[in-house]
A and B are shown apart, each in its own frame.
Chain A
Amino acid sequence: MSAISKQFDGNQVLQDVQLEVHEGHVHILAGENGAGKSTLIKILAGIYSDYEGRIEISGKEVRPQSPLEASALGIAVIHQELSLVGPMSVADNMFLGHPLARGGFVQKTKQEAGAAKSLGLLGLDLDVRQPIEQFPIGVRQMIEIAKALHQNARIIVMDEPTSALNAPEAEKLFALIQSLKQRGCGIIYISHKMEEIERLADRITVLRDGQWIGTAPAAELPPPKLIQWMIGREISEQFPRHSQHPGSERLRLENFSVFPEGISRRPVVRDISLSVHAGEIVGIGGLQGSGASELFLGLFGGYGASVRGNLHLDGNEVHLNSPKQAITNGVALLTNDRKATGLVLSQSITANATLADLFRLSPWGWRRPVREQAAAQTTTGLLHLRAASLGMEVGALSGGNQQKVALAKWLQTRPKLLLLDEPTRGIDIGAKREIYQQMNEWIAQGIAILLITSEMPELLMLSDRIIVLHRGVVSAEFSREQATPEVVLAAAMGNKPSLADGNHKVYE
């Protein structure tokens, strides 16, 4: 692939990116969240067909217009969310989209024999007539790879394939990758985990903010240098940040675990212990799959009682088993997806800004429109919301103004502890600055803030302390002075932060 560029609504997300994959090589595609890795893969997979640039396979230019065309060209993508149909049998899944058929009738026996043979090549002996949902996720991933192979894929793309696997399953996958290499497949492997990169990489390409930074053989790119390539950018702008003297301890978590799928399943966040003081911003660092968002939701009662461990608010142990309980205890959660989980887009600004506090604004249940209006006026005014009227539907606002409505909703509840999950995602720079300024005012009022952000400069600039999560456990904690992009990223990738000079705390 060369000189690949791609725009979304005028935003340049990829610019002149190149990628060259050799037969029998594992090519690691590295970069921070939002660097453009997924976009590049989607272009290769035929999901985005309106790009600029050239794609060549064995010297011949191709231009996949659909996933079907891409797979005919020998490109197979193993997505993070597997693209298998749960209730269908293994054999049917492997022939999905190109069934062995004669005169429109599927030849089931032939398919089953073919599927068993392909799986056998990978050392898998399964009953191919069983529905796929019966198998554990690791096996399903193998099946997906077998499917790719048997469609004669020459280029296999794996997007964080180990994120859902346990250690033995991942081990099996690595062995499989070795055998794929011997068969002459080219593999593009996206990963956030340093140990995997070190173990698998033949060559590494680094993307950053949609730009191609460089490609090098793995031997020439040891972890410190890789991280430097990934971060590299200048921190272009200083955010106004007023440091506070932290007050008393607002939140303390001891051995806090979160079980989003129920208490009997695997915890996504394990044995977290941390504390946040009044007037302090504690940043949570971590890459995708670190469990930071799940930690917030668990803390906020979003998973009901599916949490374990102790939670102290202002020194008192509390159990927050529902969002309502969290709100009455002075906790507020700004979710990372305002459209899906933050706002009711079909409702007015006023209705959204008062929703979380309606039980206080309407005593005895009867609503007081004047009071609601006044409350919404106050909170949105503090945030400098720009809207024609407060009766406007929130769905008609710009991203930045929508985010302000979501924040106004939480200000209205007069929180003591604010959980901000990606507060500046998808909003323009002006609105970002205003939100930073607001955060300064909130900590000046003694509110404690826990912050998740995938933007490294923002994390470093805003946080008094940074706690880094890697696969659901705390991997390091840094003070404001100790934190540098390199050490934070290394910790987020699960590397023990020995490569930096740090005298910081190291866990495990």
Chain B
Amino acid sequence: MSDKSKNPLLRAFASPAGRAFLALLLVLLLGVIFNGDSAFFKIGTHRDALRQASVYGILACGMTLVIISGGIDLAVGSLLALTAVCCAKMAIHWNWSGWLTVPACLLVGALCGSVSGFITARLRIQPFIATLSMMVLARGLAKYVSGGMKVSTAIMNPDGTYRYVDVPHFFRLVDSRILGGNLSVVTLIFAACVALAWLLMAKHRWGSYLYAIGGNEEASRLSGVPVVAAKMMAYVFSGIFAAVAGICQAAQEQQGDPEAGAGYELMAIAMVVIGGTSLMGGRGGIGLTLLGVLTIGYLDKILSINAVPEAGRLMLTGIIIVVAVLTQRRKRT
């Protein structure tokens, strides 16, 4: 904390944001050196890197709220699958319009989030256990709603034959690009989620409450902070963000896959932690999460354009997460 360095650059890198930024710069530098036959200098590469990171990033927005309040949400991956399945069912099979489907899916996410929140905040079950059970429950719901199969544009008739329907209009909209094909719409949605989370965390009273609860729950309670309501709100928002991610996923895949999103919660947690938000709660922010999302997103892209096979990519990502978190801890004292 007491960095006496006069050099403003050095001092900037001593802050959590500076360190997260430094990690991102290092990853980008890696991309410049190992540029995969100059694929790294093509705008399409960056567009795809951002697009691929967006769904994870949207989950990480909700995860940030929950982690800052001192909790954790393991259910987001399953919730993504549940809402993707619901979304496909409503939009493809029932032919609902986007105006109806999207709010309905957000409602599903919010409801599931409020159940996790109620279990952990009101019934005082550890967040790990409460959201673990929601994770299993939501996966089961996804399989129940979908009948265990992917919900796609191929619809089974009662006589066992298939008929094909059009991909819904708003699926195409979400999966399209703007600015002359240089920016994916899902990236735009991710940006909107970051903005919403930032408004809540930095500009709203409830955001301050989350920081206070994560820092010292008992002191917050005795200062009149509505602890139960604030924690529930964090999980509800996490559920809503998971629903947004689920809609994006369904639109991109043009189907609802009940097996989708497995392990996504861990990727979202890794992104939050690499940004420098403390898993103990009370410290961090959505800006840090944005840096963490970009770092892991680009790392993955750079490894893939250099034709590192998936096995190697996963191992390297694991090692880099540990290294990044270790450097943050050492400099924190």
A residues lining the B interface (CB < 8 Å): 300, 302, 322-324, 326-328, 333, 335, 340-347, 351, 355-356, 358-359, 362, 365-367, 393, 396, 409
Contact = CB atoms under 8 A, between A and B. Distances in A.
Nearest to A362: B205
Given A355-B208, A356-B223, A358-B208, 7 more contacts: A328-B224, A335-B219, A342-B219, A355-B223, A366-B205, A367-B207, A393-B1
B236 to A, nearest CB: 15
Contacts, number: 80
A190 to B, nearest CB: 29
A494 B183 CA distance: 78
A346 B209 CA distance: 13
Interface in B184-232: 203-209, 211-212, 214-216, 218-226
B109 interface: no
A396 B1 contact: yes
Contacts of B221: 302, 323
Contacts of A365: 204-206
Q: What's the interface size class on B, roughly? A: 20 to 34
3 tightest Cβ-Cβ pairs between the two chains A and B: A344-B215, A324-B224, A356-B223
Contacts of A333: 222
B contact face: mostly helix, strand, loop, or mixed: helix
Contacts of B219: 335, 340-344
B283 interface: yes
Contacts of A346: 211, 214-216, 282-283
A436 B332 CA distance: 37
- Which of A322, A355, A409 has most chain B Cβ within 10 Å? A355
B203 A366 contact: yes
Contact of A359 (B205, B214, B216): B205
B212 A347 contact: yes
A351 B211 CA distance: 10
A351 B212 contact: yes
Nearest to A324: B224
B211 A345 contact: no
Given A323-B223, A356-B224, A409-B223, A347 B204 contact: no
Contacts of B209: 358
A367 B225 contact: no
- Which of B207, B212, B224 has most chain A Cβ within 10 Å? B224
Contact of B212 (A327, A340, A342, A355): A355
A101 B223 CA distance: 52
A493 to B, nearest CB: 30
B222 A341 contact: yes
A347 B224 contact: no
A21 to B, nearest CB: 40
Given A344-B282, A366-B203, A367-B208, A324 B215 contact: no
Nearest to A344: B215
Contacts of B205: 358-359, 362, 365-367
Interface string B89-106: 000000000000000000
A346 B277 CA distance: 13
Contacts of A343: 216, 219
Nearest to B206: A365
A179 to B, nearest CB: 43
A71 B283 CA distance: 43
A340 B220 CA distance: 11
B216 A344 contact: yes
Nearest to B214: A346
Nearest to A342: B219
A358 B211 CA distance: 13
A324 B211 contact: no
A322 B204 CA distance: 23
B143 to A, nearest CB: 37
A327 B215 contact: no
Contacts of B1: 393, 396
